[in-house]
C-alpha cells in the first residue's frame, strides 16, 4: 500500500466519523427555535443535508477504493465550503452571541475544508 493510499483511507474514516456525527447536530439545529429558525430549516434541509449525504456516499466509496469516490468527495466538500461560508456570514451578522468564537470556528472550519478540497483535487495516476 502506498503512503497516499494510507492517508486516503485515514481521511475517508475521518470523513465517515464527521458525517455521522454531524447528523445529530443537524437534527438539533432543525429543532432549535430562535430568531434563525426559518433560516435553519431552509439551509439545513436544502444544503447541509445533501452535503452530509454526499459525504457519506463519498466516504463509503473511498473506503471501498472506488475511483469515483474522489469525485463525489470533491462535490461534497465544494458544497460544504459554499454552505459554511454563506451560512456562517449570515450567522455572524444576525446573531450577536459569541461572535468572536463563531468567527474563529468559521475560519478554522473553512480552512480545513479548503485544504481537504485541495488534497482530493490533486492529480493521481489513473492506472493505480
Q: How far is 74 from 120, CA to CA, in rounded Å?
A: 6
Q: Output the average pLDDT for the chain.
A: 89
Cell output for 83: 454552505
pTM of the model: 0.85
Taking the C-alpha atoms of residue 99 and residue 93, their distance in angstroms, rounded to an integer, is 9
pLDDT of residue 89 exceeding 70: yes
Query: Tell me, what's the pLDDT at 2?
Result: 64
Residue 22 pLDDT > 80: yes
Q: Quote the CA–CA distance of 28 and 33 in Å, as a whole number.
A: 10
Q: What is the pLDDT of residue 126?
A: 63
Amino acid at each position: 500500500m502506498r503512503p497516499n493510499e494510507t492517508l486516503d483511507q485515514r481521511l475517508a474514516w475521518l470523513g465517515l466519523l464527521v458525517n455521522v456525527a454531524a447528523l445529530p447536530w443537524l437534527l438539533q439545529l432543525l429543532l432549535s427555535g430562535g430568531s434563525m429558525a426559518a433560516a435553519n430549516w431552509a439551509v439545513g434541509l436544502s444544503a447541509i443535508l445533501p452535503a452530509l449525504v454526499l459525504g457519506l456516499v463519498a466516504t463509503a466509496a473511498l473506503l471501498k477504493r472506488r475511483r469515483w469516490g474522489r469525485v463525489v468527495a470533491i462535490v461534497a466538500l465544494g458544497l460544504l465550503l459554499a454552505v459554511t461560508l454563506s451560512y456562517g456570514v449570515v450567522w455572524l451578522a444576525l446573531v450577536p452571541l459569541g461572535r468572536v468564537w463563531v468567527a474563529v470556528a468559521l475560519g478554522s472550519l473553512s480552512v480545513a475544508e479548503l485544504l481537504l478540497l485541495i488534497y482530493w483535487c490533486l492529480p493521481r495516476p489513473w492506472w493505480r
